[in-house]
Structure 1
Amino acid sequence: MNESNPTPFSTGKFLFEYTNPEAVFIPEDFTDEHRMIMESAAEFMEQEVVPAEARIENHDYGLLVEFIRQAGELGLLGADIPEAYGGLELDKVSSMIIGEAVAKQPSFSITMSGHAGIGSLPIVFFGNDKQKRKYLPGIAAGTQITAYCLTEPSSGTDALSIGTTAKLAEDGQHYVLNGQKQFITNAGFADIFIVYAKIDGKHFSAFIVERDTEGLLLGTEENKMGLRGTSTRSIILEDCRIPTENLLGEAGKGHLIAFNILNFGRLKLAAGSLGLSKEVISISVKYAKERKQFNQPLSSFPLIKNKLADMNILTYALESMVYRTAGLIDQQLQALDPHPQTYVSEMMKAASEYALEASVNKVFASETIQHIADEAVQIHGGYGYTKEYRIEQIYRDVRIFRIFEGTNEINRLLIPKQIIKKVRTPLQIADDFAKLMKEAAALKHPEAPAGTSALDREKHFIMLARKHFQLAIGHAITKYAEEIDSQQEIAAALSEMAILIYAMESIWLRTNRRVDRLGEEKAVHSVQMTQVFCYESMIKIRDLTENVIMNEVPELYTMLSAMNPIRSAAGINTFLLKRSIADRLAEKEKYIV
């Protein structure tokens, strides 16, 4: 594959083709409007929400509802809602900016996301004009709060196995719903519930259910590990009569609503994880400077520096991924005609193009914030284990992120399926594999570049990473063919490789642009973070490839040996690079780029 001839980006192509740095959106591309949105949301959080954190965590749901209404007045709830229905109809970058900014208080952030994200988007994308006019203005204003009701006691990841039923009543004007939903965010105060049920026990469908519907009952509040400020209850439906006009979308097509909406939920979760990662870094570096051991601040010890630097590097990669993905969706949407009646359905189709990238973002983001929160507790030592320090609460709060919006395990199984479905057919993958095997036989292996740019080596790593992935997936497809779904360990390994490659390329593309704009000296810490991340990721990808191949094809081991990233790593001293990054962090006392 020719690395010098960039092609237009579409889903998953990052695994097989070079991407032009000028083709991607980076945070440095924020417009004045983007920055104003960020400032408005951040000011709201700092002045109103964060100071009331203790009340929120003590279940003051009245205050939480009031904050949602204030967010509505500021326009923070209407980013994804069309102007014709009371929203602001902003781009997806703006939506991610809002998600990042409100993440400082996780319980409020999840409440708001459950309302303005997965709770409202089913109506935005699949509602008819009458439904949109009835519900969306109140949702955008925060005067009507939504809840998304999919999970059941016996069906979580396997959403299509739900037991809730809907039956057309004798009058032909109502559906009668029976069943139970579990772990429903915002249930305690929601006005509108998006409920999934099977018509006649067969046809998976979605319904809009209003709070005052007779037969809708609420369970008690769940006593949760974290996010204790959110309302989480079960929903019990006992002969709930729902007007037929409240059927959302088409009967039997509810799976299209459920799964497409989850793609947006995954991206918003990634944005929230990004904002909270930055918050935890700030908390941790300030504590590390203030806390002294052996008459020295913790921030001066190399092992603490290593932790702080890793936290910042992961966040830089995540930030690059989140806004790159939002930019890709915006590029798709900009190509649509905004006036035809089909615009909304076409918008949903364009946005769903990046389901693979949504899963990649979700897994990387949730595991990044989990790692960062864990390291923050470690930096705080015993104090991090006490409720006196915020980090204890954040540590508990973020654990659910790996379960929300489809567990990370199910997302890891989805990624290879998306690759085979949308990016490369099994036949094309096998053809790629055959070409690479010929390279192995001829010993035509890529050598490290002799370029002068600080990022040439990292570009080479990304190319090596692609070849490793193509070898691994090619071998898996060749060996297992249609049975690859049953090889979950291999699917997870392939997913991990895809996630790392997207992260490597995203961070490299962004840093490349930063160097072009600022010069290497001013972008030095971005360069250092890119060097560390790409090198360490490449080592992981090499090991994952070997695990997938499992000593079965000697020719592949010959090729892997020739492509050993260590050969290209002369001059990389990750210890020193991380110390430099940590020193800059200590100086700024917040996330740096």
Structure 2
Amino acid sequence: MSTNPNRLIGGQYLVKDASYNDIFTYEDLSEEQQMILQSAKEFIDKEVVPKKHQIEKKDYALIEDLMRKIGELGLLGISVPEEYGGMGMGFVTTMLVCDYISGATGSLATAFGAHTGIGTMPITLYGTEEQKQKYLPKLASGEWFASYCLTEPEAGSDANSGKTKAVLSEDGKEYIISGQKMWITNAGFAELFIVFARIDDDKNITAFIVEKDKAGEGFSLGEEEDKLGIVSSSTRQVFFNQVRVPVENLLGERDGGFKIAMNALNVGRIKLGAACLDAQRRILDNALQYASERKQFNTSINTFGAIKEKLADMAVAAFTSESGAYRAAKDVQDAIDDNVAKGMSHNEAELKGIEEYAIEASILKVWISDSAQDSADQGIQIYGGMGYSKEMPMESAWRDARISRIYEGTNEINTLLCVSMLVKRAFKGKVDLMTPAMNVANELMSIPSFDVPDYSELFAQEKEIIANLKKAFFMVAGSALQKFGAELEQHQQLILAASHIMQEIYMVESAMLRAEKIAKEKGADAAANAVKIVQLQLFKSVEIIKSEATRGIISFTEGDEQRMMLSGLRRFTRYNEYPNIVNLKTEIADLLIKENKYTF
């Protein structure tokens, strides 16, 4: 059961201050979770890393074989209830396995994520008892693999616009499905397909379970797609021509497929954030090792300040990514436990718990996938010309990272969703946006304090700045909402700016709370490097927020209103005591170089 009565609900981080006591961090992993982590990591290091070159040659059979081995370890069924052959572990452990299985190659990460997430999860959460008993044991063990058929040539981000049709047979015993799906992961070796089609003229699509062996001649696959990255991940078009599916294979409710698809994407988004974590660690480790071995001007390039800056930036991004991902994972788990305690079934509790943190899921998907891409790009720069070679790990890391910004909803779609979901939660009374927005408007009219603050306490200045960054968000978003009302959704560039502010606040606050928890529980010395990382991330976040807020403000204000808001922005992004960013990056890089690996 949840032991966190002070847990903030989804989106509430903007209006209430979280305490380090109330968040979960990577350092809080239990002994059992550490053992599962090591099991996943050892498998990747022994079975996957030595075969990287083979994976980069479109070896689809190898990925299928690796997936079966993961199934033998029990990790395909990590979140499947025990009564259906799984391990029945909580959401944090599910995120942990996704983290460490996904780091070495995007091809395996994609196959694993599609099977365990959008492939298996819809049956776990929406299936009838008969469907669960029939399919989940096979999916949890790796006897069968699953695929998810949603995207169509004319239905990508607008998932509910699919043209695939399902018609009930005259005898009422089968649905006859016809249509085309594309970009379908695991299609080449999956035995089970979650297929979305529209029955008659229903408003929403409906989900079906299609077994390949029983689909008949009307079921066919296109050729493997020739992709930029994740080259050994099976990706094909799937064609349905009068494919007959028993009525008992309808998943969930008729007209309820869009709800299933959206909830699957919420889970997919937060797990995609987790799937980018170990990739960042491994990219950094490879960069560190190469920089120590590569010599120019008779010295290792890791002694150069320009290289140290890149290494430090990569470490800051990795630490911050971990902080946000595991904070949100535990919040989801606590929400699930609380819902069960209220009398909900586990399925309903999990659906509601995941939906509760849909905003944070989108934030993590965008921020961490962007960071993984940036780290891979910096890694190539550190390798120089060799980074462009397929013989080196950075080339494939960069290509694999690129897709993470596209699937589970593009980063642009997810960035827009952050604000729209927050506004909807406000209208439902779940998050009070009006009070802080009005308070900020009043503060803009007041004379700022010129008292010299006391920053003797750990993170005193950082907490003050983060609180002010939240005010900057309400200044921009509140004024924009007041001006445009329901028409705000038509101003996408303004929404993007406000959403980027939201994202930076959540991520840097997560890093700060993690570092504070380390300091309180293990002492100042143990937290010293984490504190430096937080100071670096906060400085970067402030600069991003300055830029985003400025472009937002000048897009819909003018004259005195604009001058007042820009003045307020300077107040809300002000440092009283600037950290020495160059020294901090050098110190972080020197520690990384000494350890020759990511060590935070």
- Fold match by TM threshold 0.5: yes
Matches of 2:15 and 2:463, distance apart in 1? 14
Question: Are 1:42 and 1:102, in contact at CA under 8 Å, matched by a contact in 2?
Answer: yes
Q: Which residue matches 2:597?
A: 590
Task: Describe the superposition over 1:114-172 as per-residue Cα deviations: whole angstroms up to 9, x where unpaired.
Answer: 11111110001010100000000000000100001111111111111111111111110
Is residue 172 from structure 1 mapped to residue 172 from structure 2 by the alignment? yes
Task: Write the distance in 2 (CA, Å) between the matches of 1:341 and 1:328.
Answer: 17
Q: Aligned in 2, Cα 1:447/1:437: closer, same or farther, shift over 3 Å?
A: farther
Conserved 8 A contact 2:24-2:326: yes
Deviation digits for residues 24-52 of structure 1 (CA, Å, limit 9, x no counterpart): 00011100000000000111111112222
How many Å separate the matches in 2 of 1:187 and 1:167? 24
Matched letter for residue 38 of structure 1? L
Question: What is the letter of the counterpart of residue 41 of structure 1?
Answer: A
1:452 aligns with 2:460: no
Counterpart position of 1:269:
272
Which structure 2 residues correspond to residues 45-444 of structure 1 after superposition, within 5 A? 45-103=44-102, 104-202=104-202, 203-212=204-213, 213-214=215-216, 215-337=218-340, 342-423=345-426, 429-444=433-448
CA contact (8 A) 1:166 1:201 kept: no
Whether 1:471 aligns to 2:449 is no
**Residues 562, 53 of structure 1: CA spacing in aligned structure 2 closer, same or farther, 3 A cutoff?**
closer
Match of 1:578 in 2: 585
Question: For residue 34 of structure 1, what is the amino acid of its counterpart?
Answer: Q
Give secondary structure in 1 for the equivalent of 2:526: coil
Deviation (angstroms), 1:445: 5.3
Please give the per-residue CA displacement for 1:453-512, whole angstroms capped at 9, x wherever unaligned: 241111111101100001011111011111000000011111100100000110010000
Supply the distance in 1 between the matched residues of 2:225 and 2:452 (Cα, whole angstroms).
55
Distance 1:341 1:468 in 2: 39
CA contact (8 A) 2:333 2:353 kept: no
Q: CA deviation at 1:448?
A: 6.9
Structure 2: which 5+ runs fail to align?
Answer: none
> Deviation of residue 280 (structure 1)?
0.2
Shift of 1:392: 0.7
- In the alignment, which residue of structure 2 is the partner of 1:507? 511
* Native 8 Å contact 1:429 1:477 kept in 2: no
Separation in 2 of the partners of 1:341 and 1:430?
A: 32
| Secondary structure at 1:77 match in 2 | helix
- After superposition, the Cα gap between the structure-2 partners of 1:240 and 1:510, relative to the gap in structure 1 and judged at 3 Å, is same
Partner SS for 1:565:
coil
Query: Does structure 1 retain, via aligned residues, the 8 Å contact 2:105–2:230?
Result: no
Structure 2 distance, partners of 1:446, 1:121, is: 55
2:17 is the counterpart of 1:18? yes
Equivalent of 2:496 in 492, 495, 499? 492
Aligned-partner Cα distance in 2 for 1:564–1:386: 42
Which residue identity is paired with 1:236?
F
Question: In the alignment, what sits opposite 1:569?
Answer: 577
Would the aligned equivalents of 1:122 and 1:261 in 2 still touch at CA under 8 Å?
yes
> What does residue 31 of structure 2 align with?
32
Cα 1:144–1:384 shift into 2, 3 Å? same
Alignment-derived partner of residue 543 in structure 2: 539
Rounded Cα–Cα distance in structure 2 between residues aligned with 1:439 and 1:339: 41
* Partner-residue secondary structure (3-state), 2:433: helix
TM-score, length basis structure 1: 0.96
Q: Would the alpha carbon gap of residues 11 and 423 (structure 1) be closer, same or farther in structure 2, given more than 3 Å must change?
A: farther
What is the SS of the residue equivalent to 2:77?
Answer: coil
Q: Measure the CA separation in 2 of the matches of 1:40 and 1:312.
A: 24
- The CA distance in 1 between the partners of 2:160 and 2:209, in whole Å, is 18
Give the letter for the 2:122 counterpart.
Answer: P
1:529 partnered with 2:517: no
Distance apart, 1:423 and its partner CA: 4.2
CA distance in 2, matches of 1:503, 1:410: 19
Alignment correspondent of 1:3 = none
Distance 1:58 1:499, change over 3 A: same
TM-score, length basis structure 2: 0.95
The one-letter code of the counterpart of 2:87 is: L
1:169 is matched by which residue type in structure 2? Answer: S
CA contact (8 A) 1:437 1:556 kept: no
Aligned to 1:228, the other structure's residue is in SS state: coil
Q: Distance in 2 between matches of 1:319 and 1:448?
A: 34
Distance 1:337 1:440, change over 3 A: closer
Aligned to 2:465: 461
Q: Deviations over 1:411-468 (max 9, x none)?
A: 0111111111124669953443332222222224596741312411111111011000
- Does the 8 A contact of 2:105 with 2:400 survive in 1? no
Conserved in 1, the CA contact under 8 Å of 2:7 and 2:331?
A: no
Are the equivalent residues in 2 in contact too, given 1:195–1:207 (CA < 8 A)? yes
Query: 1:75-99 CA distances to partner (integer Å, 9 max, x unpaired)?
Result: 1111111111111110111111111
* Count of matched residue pairs: 586
What is the distance in 2 between the residues matched to 1:255 and 1:494? 27
Q: Deviations over 1:254-283 (max 9, x none)?
A: 111000011111111111101100000000
- 1:506-527 per-residue CA deviation (whole Å, 9 max, x = no partner) reads 0010000011122222321101
Q: CA deviation at 1:343?
A: 2.4
Q: CA separation of 1:429/1:122 partners in 2, compared to 1, >3 Å: closer, same or farther?
A: same
Shift of 1:404: 0.8
Instruction: Tell me the distance in 2 between the aligned counterparts of 1:448 and 1:14.
Output: 27
Structure-2 separation of matches of 1:21 and 1:286: 34
Deviation of 1:100 after TM superposition, in Å, equals 1.2
CA pair 560-75 structure 1, distance change in 2 beyond 3 A: same
CA distance in 2, matches of 1:170, 1:263: 37
Structure 1 residues 79, 258: closer, same or farther in 2, change over 3 A?
same
The root-mean-square deviation of aligned C-alpha atoms, in Å, is: 1.8
Does the 8 Å CA contact 2:415/2:496 hold for their aligned counterparts? yes
* 1:519–1:135 distance in 2 versus 1, CA, 3 Å: same
1:504–1:534 contact (8 Å) kept in structure 2? yes
Structure 1 stretch displaced more, 70-79 or 245-254 = 70-79
1:532 to 1:139, Cα distance in 2 relative to 1, 3 A: same
Q: 1:341 to 1:576 in 2, by over 3 A?
A: closer
